[in-house]
Structure 1
């Protein structure tokens, strides 16, 4: 919490307006929130794709083993 206050003081001491400093902090906070939400959404989508792939693989394996049981033994 000290770093933002020090940085804010440095910005205002160098001639930046309070409004500009607050705009910068607002943008940085929104960027952090967006990054966190994007990474959570991407992880959830990846897990859903992995689950769908596992289900499709299990289904294909089951249908292949059922087809193998229906075939007569090679002579």
Structure 2
């Protein structure tokens, strides 16, 4: 798939998400806040696409081992 199609799809998805944000919170956001939210949504859509490109199977285990903090001593 050509990169422009992916970029266009990402932009469309980010616009759709921004439309949802405007519908719910638009009356409480300044123009500057709206632009910051839109920028963050674009970054999130691109990050999500990058994660989707990582090939995984059901046999792949998490990379991070969780060890709860139990305090000193």
* TM-score bin (small chain): 0.3 to 0.5
Structure number with higher relative contact order (C-alpha < 8 Å, ≥ 6 residues apart): 2
Higher helix share: 1
Length-normalised TM-score, structure 1: 0.39
Structure with max Cα Rg: 1
